[in-house]
Amino acid sequence: MMVRRIAAVLLLASLPACGGVSSPSNNKTETFPGVVPKGGVGPVVIFNSKSGELTITVTNLTPTVPSSTQFALVYGQSISGTCQGIDQRFVTVGFPVTEVTYSSGLYCVQLTDYFGLFPADETYTLTVNHP
């Protein structure tokens, strides 16, 4: 019984060295600019991530919109330059979206003026904190 416990502890201790899930404290932050057309869909933002927790935040929209203005943030995997959505959230500027990547690869984010609430084309700044 003791041998099994020791083996289990050694196995768990070796997982991070084998490319296991990264700790959020080891994440890096990337900043991406873009434009969402009024009533339309913005460009696909692609980033390379390891497995672990990531946070996506739209930090700025210009021209400024009221703080309650919602838009869609689509998160997914990038396949042949297309964002294959895994999750879609309705967010406001400054609202962080936390997701988990289960394997290393190319991931993506795309913003949409889903409700048609933008008064004009909006230039945005997006940050992705990821492993």
Q: Where are the domains of the chain?
A: 21-130
HSE toward the beta carbon, residue 59, CA cutoff 13 A? 12
Tens digit of pLDDT for each residue in 82-101? Answer: 899 999 999 999 999 999 99
**Residue 99: beta bridge partners?**
54
> What's the mean pLDDT when you consider all of the chain?
86
CATH dotted code for 21-130: 2.60.120.510
- The C-alpha atoms of residue 73 and residue 89 are separated, in whole angstroms, by 5
- The C-alpha atoms of residue 106 and residue 92 are separated, in whole angstroms, by 25
pTM: 0.79
Residues in the chain: 131
Q: Is 10 helix (H, G, I), strand (E, B) or coil?
A: helix
Chain position carrying tokens 């203005």: 69
Which two three-digit tokens encode residue 4?
């099994």
Tens digit of pLDDT for each residue in 36-49? Answer: 999 999 999 999 99
- The C-alpha atoms of residue 5 and residue 3 are separated, in whole angstroms, by 5
User: Would you say 61 and 35 are in contact if contact means Cβ atoms under 8 Å apart?
Assistant: no
Tens digit of pLDDT for each residue in 44-72? Answer: 999 999 999 999 999 999 999 999 999 99
- The C-alpha atoms of residue 98 and residue 129 are separated, in whole angstroms, by 9
Q: Is 9 helix (H, G, I), strand (E, B) or coil?
A: helix
- The C-alpha atoms of residue 43 and residue 109 are separated, in whole angstroms, by 9
